Amino acid sequence: MSLIAVSGLNTYYGDSHILFDLALRIEANEVVALLGRNGAGKSTTLKSLMGIVTPRSGSIRFDGKEIAGWASHAIAQAGMQLVPEDRRIFGSLNVEENIILAGLTAPKRWPLARIYEMFPRLRERRTSRGTDLSGGEQQMLAIARALVRDPKILLLDEPFEGLAPIIVRDLLATCRTLAEAGQTILVVEQNISAAMTLADRIYVLNNGHMVEELAAPAVRAQPEVLHRHLGV
pLDDT digits (tens, 9 = 90+) for 125-169: 999 999 999 999 999 999 999 999 999 999 999 999 988 999 999
CATH number of domain containing 59 = 3.40.50.300
Q: Are residues 128 and 177 in the same domain?
A: no
pLDDT at residue 232 tops 80: no
Print the domain residue range for 173: 4-79+152-230
Q: Are residues 140 and 159 in the same domain?
A: no
Q: What's the whole-model pTM score?
A: 0.94
| Total domains in the fold of the chain | 2
Q: Are residues 159 and 219 in the same domain?
A: yes
Which one has a higher pLDDT value, 69 or 232?
A: 69
Q: Are residues 175 and 111 in the same domain?
A: no
Asked if residue 146 lies in contact with residue 81, where contact means CB atoms within 8 angstroms, the answer is yes
Return the closest-CA partner of residue 41 out of 15, 9, 69, 71: 9
